[in-house]
A and B are shown apart, each in its own frame.
Chain A
Amino acid sequence: GAGVSQSPRYKVAKRGQDVALRCDPISGHVSLFWYQQALGQGPEFLTYFQNEAQLDKSGLPSDRFFAERPEGSVSTLKIQRTQQEDSAVYLCASSLYSGVLYEQYFGPGTRLTVT
C-alpha cells in the first residue's frame, strides 16, 4: 500500500512569506508526528496528533508555527513570516496506534529553504 507522502518535496520561500506543508499519512494510522531536521543534525520533535487531537505541541519553536489535522487524516504544518532559521527538512511520520511505542513510518520530507 501507499506510504506516507509529503508535498511539496522542495519549497523555496522568501523571508517573511507564509508556507504550508502537507502530510498524507498511511490510511488508518492514528498517530501523526511532525519533525524538523536541520542540516547535519538528527530530527527534532515539533508536534503530535492522535487522530484530530493535537496532544503535544511543545516542540513548535515559536507561535509562527501552526499545525492542524482537522479530520484525523491529512495534516498541514504552516509557518508564518518565515525566517532563515526555519530552513530545514520537515518530516512527517505516522503510526498505527497512539503514543510512541509503535513503529513510525516516515515520509520523504519537505526541504524548505528560506532566502
Chain B
Amino acid sequence: KNEVEQSPQNLTAQEGEFITINCSYSVGISALHWLQQHPGGGIVSLFMLSSGKKKHGRLIATINIQEKHSSLHITASHPRDSAVYICAVSPAPGAGSYQLTFGKGTKLSVIP
C-alpha cells in the first residue's frame, strides 16, 4: 500500500470550475509538497507546507497534520491548468532518510 494516496486519480473539469485534489498520508512527516507535471515530464514545485494554508495566485494548499491530509484547490480553473498534480511528503525529523515519498498523481483536464 502506497504511503501517500491521492484522489481522484483523474479529474475533468469545465473552465472556471473550482477544483479540489486530495492527498492522505500514513507516516509521520516534516513537510508536504505539491508538484505540477506537464506532458513531456517537467516537474515544478508549487507549494511546500508543514502547517496551515498557503496561497499563490489561483492555487491554495492546506494541510491538517492531525488528520494526515492535505488539499490542493484551484479557483477559476483554466485549460492551462491541465497537468498531473503530485503530492509528496518529506520524512519526519530524525528518520535518517532523504526520501521524498510521492503519490501517483492526479491527472487534471480542464475543458474550455
Number of A-B contacts (CB under 8 A): 68
A72 on the B face (CB < 8 A) = no
Measured between beta carbons, the chain A residues less than 8 angstroms from B52 are none
Encoded as 1 (CB less than 8 Å from any A CB) or 0, chain B from 35 to 50 comes to: 1000011111100100
Contact A42 B86 (CB under 8 A): yes
A20 beta carbon closer than 8 Å to chain B? no
Distance A104 CA – B43 CA, assembled complex (angstroms)? 10
Contact of B99 among A31, A58, A89 (CB under 8 A): A58
Establish whether residues B102 and A42, one from each chain, have CB atoms under 8 Å apart when the complex forms. yes
A107 CB to closest chain B CB (Å) equals 8
**Total interface residues in chain A, CB < 8 Å:** 28
Interface pair B44/A100, CB less than 8 Å apart: no
Q: A91 at interface (Cβ–Cβ under 8 A)?
A: yes
| Known A-B contacts A42-B105, A45-B99, A45-B100; A100 and B90 likewise in contact (beta carbons under 8 Å) | yes
Q: In this assembly, does B66 line the interface, its C-beta being within 8 Å of a C-beta of chain A?
A: no
The interface residues of chain B lying within 8 Å CB-to-CB of A40 are 104
CB distance from B90 to the nearest CB of A (A): 4
Whether the pair A106, B43 counts as a contact (CB closer than 8 A) is: yes
Count of chain B residues near A, Cβ 8 A: 25
Is the Cβ of B98 less than 8 Å from the Cβ of A101?
A: no
Contacts of B99 in A (CB 8 A): 45, 48, 56, 58-59, 100
A42-B104, A100-B99, A101-B31 are known contacts. Are A108 and B86 too (CB-CB below 8 A)?
no
In chain B, what residue has the closest Cβ to A100?
B90
In the complex, what distance in Å separates the CA atom of A33 from the CA atom of B45? 14
Chain B interface residues (CB < 8 Å from chain A): 4, 30-31, 33, 35, 40-45, 48, 86, 88, 90-91, 97-105
Provide 27 A-B residue pairs closer than 8 Å at the C-beta atoms, listed in order of the A residue. A31-B98, A41-B104, A42-B4, A42-B103, A42-B104, A42-B105, A43-B86, A43-B102, A45-B98, A45-B99, A55-B98, A56-B98, A56-B99, A91-B41, A99-B98, A100-B31, A100-B90, A100-B91, A100-B98, A101-B30, A101-B90, A102-B48, A104-B33, A104-B100, A105-B45, A108-B41, A109-B41
